[in-house]
């Protein structure tokens, strides 16, 4: 899925905005001690027990492996109540001026800034990523709401002059109740990426987070209410695939935005097609990162690490196929391996940790399976890839592994073709620009791509040829909210972030005004 924003200034962000809002329950900053506030559904401005909560699903703390909470999955009745609540709030919100919506969204952004440390801690405990990264995720979240607050007051159509003094104009109008379905790698940030443009355009939203990370998005719902949105404008339903299906098939839902896997995205498209509902799909990737021999080696190495090991490698736009021009292959590989071995793994709430725990045991086992298969197919493990057990006894059941660099990789290996979604980098040599572009594009995915070179003409030529929606020159995994984010091919369609997202959360109405008499043929 997603990447960090403004990471070159990451260190500047960390000391800021650490206050906790008064009146909130104090959260222990020690791993393994958080007690989750229940319930985790949110409807009509309050936390509620689902009206027909079914089977309880265990939610785990990745760092320790302990059960964080038990989650009741919302059924048909709860989904309908959430949609109807959003529908009622939409009638109020959609009639407010853009500037009125702007002020409310700016207040929500302010509250998030104020509660940055609390939300980041919550995110780290539920997701397993380092607090170092989680703080940046929260900064990106409030920046997103600020950005779309700024656009809310400027949404406009156009005036078209017609013959005889007549004219036409267009109106950009909201869609209605939108559904957001989030992923577990950036729970709070993805919720802001979807709700920001939706609310700016005048829509309401019912949001379903991943059942693996249900906690922080409820805090976002509370923040929206505190900021002044009509009660019910942003509701949260919890559950897995069955709950998502109920949302997608609900007749009063106008649009669906999904972040997740390709197979699930295909199912959502099928369901949306039956109701003629627009969808935004941000799906998987197996992105190429191309390192030419004339690149600044220091920046190229740092870029490769950023392209592979953020959020334990659980990022859909990661550049996991690292193509390196053969004449610098050995030098580049040695430096990447040396720095990968120095990455600090462990308790994600410690300030010096740079890699926390993977999301859960089944996913950790899946990533380990990819590495085992890579070795069987002839790849060489240059470093890492094994399980990691921290010294702290309370972390012994956490889901940790050492970041892995694979050498001797071939294009037909599974580790090169399939998305692993873990801290596994595959290095592949190349000889010519033409060759590497053909190999880079030989994939069903098209989410992102990157190039490192000092030759600016070559850089622009390469990104123009890459079949990917998000491309980077001399950097990687930088996704400012001002820029559209989305993919080509099986990586999805539609865009999140940037002004372009407005088009996916609104619809255009054409009005034709006759200023003279009707000329009739009858």
pLDDT in tens, 391-421: 999 999 999 999 999 999 999 999 999 999 9
pLDDT at residue 1 greater than cutoff 60: no
Label residue 10 by pLDDT band (50, 70, 90).
very low
pLDDT in tens, 208-255: 999 999 999 999 999 999 999 999 999 999 999 999 999 999 999 999
pLDDT at residue 487 greater than cutoff 80: yes
Tokens representing 159 are: 């005036």
pLDDT at residue 5 greater than cutoff 60: no
The domain locations on the chain are 30-283, 288-473
Arithmetic mean of pLDDT, 25-51: 82
**Percentage with pLDDT > 70 across the chain:** 94
Q: What is the DSSP string of 362-377?
A: HHHHHHHHHHHHHHHT
List the beta bridge partners of residue 323: 290, 428
Compute the distance between CA of residue 268 and CA of residue 290 in angstroms, rounded to an integer: 33
Give yes or no for a contact between 225 and 243, defined as CB atoms under 8 angstroms apart: no
Residue 163 is predicted with a pLDDT of: 96
Arithmetic mean of pLDDT, 450-471: 99
Tokens representing 156 are: 């406009």
First to last CA, the chain: 59
Strands in 165-283 per DSSP E: 167-174, 177-181, 204-208, 234-236, 253-259, 279-282
pLDDT in tens, 349-399: 999 999 999 999 999 999 999 999 999 999 999 999 999 999 999 999 999
Give yes or no for a contact between 285 and 318, defined as CB atoms under 8 angstroms apart: yes
Residue 31 is predicted with a pLDDT of: 78
Query: Largest Cα–Cα distance in the chain?
Result: 89
Give yes or no for a contact between 180 and 198, defined as CB atoms under 8 angstroms apart: yes
Could you give the dihedral angle defined by the CA atoms of residues 205, 316, 187 and 383, in that order, rounded to the nearest 10 degrees?
Answer: 180
**Going by DSSP bridges, is the β-strand pair 167-174/159-161 parallel, antiparallel, or unpaired?**
antiparallel
Arithmetic mean of pLDDT, 310-338: 99
Give yes or no for a contact between 488 and 282, defined as CB atoms under 8 angstroms apart: no
Residue 233 is predicted with a pLDDT of: 99
Residue 54 is predicted with a pLDDT of: 76
Residue 11 is predicted with a pLDDT of: 34
The backbone torsions φ and ψ at residue 67, rounded to the nearest 5 degrees and listed phi first, read: -75, 120
Q: What is the DSSP string of 442-472?
A: -SSEESEEEEE-S-HHHHHHHHHHS--SEEE
Q: Enumerate residues 6+ apart whose C-beta is below 8 A from 387.
A: 364, 368, 400, 401, 402
Ranges 6-10, 292-296, 441-445, 496-500: which has the least confidence: 6-10
Q: Enumerate residues 6+ apart whose C-beta is below 8 A from 23.
A: none
Residue 23 is predicted with a pLDDT of: 29
Residue 17 is predicted with a pLDDT of: 31
User: Is 282 designated active site?
Assistant: yes
Residue 94 is predicted with a pLDDT of: 99
Buried b (16+ CB within 10 A) or exposed e, 84-114: bbbbbbbeebbebebeebbebbbbbbebbbb
Which of 303, 333, 334, 335 has the alpha carbon at shortest distance from 319? Answer: 303
Arithmetic mean of pLDDT, 335-361: 98
**Percentage with pLDDT > 90 across the chain:** 92
Which of 18, 23, 84, 4 has the alpha carbon at shortest distance from 51? Answer: 84
pLDDT in tens, 82-138: 999 999 999 999 999 999 999 999 999 999 999 999 999 999 999 999 999 999 999
Residue 191 is predicted with a pLDDT of: 99
Higher pLDDT, 31 or 28: 31
Architecture of domain 30-283: 3-Layer(aba) Sandwich (3.40)
- Catalytic residue of the set 107, 118, 146, 282: 282
pLDDT at residue 459 greater than cutoff 90: yes
Residue 366 is predicted with a pLDDT of: 99
Residue 18 is predicted with a pLDDT of: 30
**Mean of the per-residue pLDDT values of the chain:** 94
Residue 132 is predicted with a pLDDT of: 97
Tokens representing 268 are: 């959502």
CA dist 79 to 89, 164, 168, 178, Å?
16, 52, 40, 13
Compute the distance between CA of residue 171 and CA of residue 158 in angstroms, rounded to an integer: 8
Q: Which residue in the block uniquely carries the two structure tokens 């109106």?
A: 171
pLDDT at residue 346 greater than cutoff 90: yes
Look up the CATH number of domain 288-473. Answer: 3.40.309.10
């Amino acid at each position: 899925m997603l990447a960090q924003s403004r990471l070159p200034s990451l260190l500047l962000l960390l000391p800021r905005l650490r206050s906790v809002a008064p009146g909130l329950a104090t959260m222990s900053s020690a791993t393994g001690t958080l007690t989750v506030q229940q319930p985790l559904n949110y409807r009509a401005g309050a936390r509620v027990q689902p009206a027909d909560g079914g089977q309880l699903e265990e939610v785990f703390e990745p760092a320790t492996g302990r059960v964080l909470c038990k989650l009741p999955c919302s059924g048909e009745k709860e989904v309908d109540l959430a949609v109807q609540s959003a529908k009622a709030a939409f009638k109020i919100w959609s009639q407010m001026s853009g500037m009125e919506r702007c002020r409310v969204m700016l207040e929500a952004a302010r509250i998030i800034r104020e509660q940055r440390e609390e939300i980041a801690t919550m995110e780290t405990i539920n997701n397993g990523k380092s607090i170092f990264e989680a703080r940046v995720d929260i900064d990106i979240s409030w920046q997103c709401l600020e950005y779309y607050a700024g656009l809310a007051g400027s949404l406009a159509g156009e005036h078209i002059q017609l013959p005889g003094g007549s004219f036409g104009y267009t109106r950009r109008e909201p869609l209605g109740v939108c559904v957001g379905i989030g992923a577990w790698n950036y729970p709070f940030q993805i919720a802001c990426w979807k709700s920001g443009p939706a609310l700016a355009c005048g829509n309401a939203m019912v949001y379903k987070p991943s059942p693996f990370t249900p906690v922080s998005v409820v805090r976002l719902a509370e923040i929206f209410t505190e900021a002044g949105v009509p009660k019910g404008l942003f509701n949260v339903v919890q559950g897995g695939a069955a709950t998502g299906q109920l949302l997608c098939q609900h007749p009063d839902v106008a649009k669906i935005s999904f972040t997740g896997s390709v197979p699930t995205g295909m199912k959502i498209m099928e369901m949306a097609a039956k109701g003629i509902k627009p969808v935004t799909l941000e799906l998987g990737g197996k992105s190429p990162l191309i390192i030419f021999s004339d690149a600044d080696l220091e920046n190229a190495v740092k870029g490769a690490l950023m392209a592979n090991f953020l959020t334990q490698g659980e990022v859909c736009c990661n550049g996991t196929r690292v193509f390196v021009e053969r004449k610098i292959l050995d030098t580049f590989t040695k430096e990447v391996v040396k720095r990968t071995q120095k990455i600090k793994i462990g308790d994600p709430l410690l300030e010096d940790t740079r890699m926390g725990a993977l999301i859960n045991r089944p996913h950790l086992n899946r990533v380990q399976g990819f590495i085992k298969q890579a070795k069987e197919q002839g790849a060489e493990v240059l470093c890492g890839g094994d399980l990691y057990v921290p010294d702290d006894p309370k972390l012994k059941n956490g889901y940790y592994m050492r970041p892995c660099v694979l050498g001797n990789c071939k294009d037909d290996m599974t580790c090169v073709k399939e998305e692993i979604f873990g801290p596994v980098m595959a290095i592949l040599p190349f000889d010519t620009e033409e060759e590497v572009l053909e190999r880079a594009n030989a994939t069903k995915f098209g989410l992102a791509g990157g190039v490192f070179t000092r030759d600016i003409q070559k850089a622009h030529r390469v990104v123009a040829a890459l079949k990917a929606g998000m491309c980077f020159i001399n950097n990687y995994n930088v996704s400012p909210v001002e820029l559209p984010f989305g993919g080509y091919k099986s990586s999805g369609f539609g865009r999140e972030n940037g002004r372009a997202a407005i088009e996916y959360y609104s619809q255009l109405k054409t009005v034709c005004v006759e200023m003279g008499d009707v000329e009739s043929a009858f």
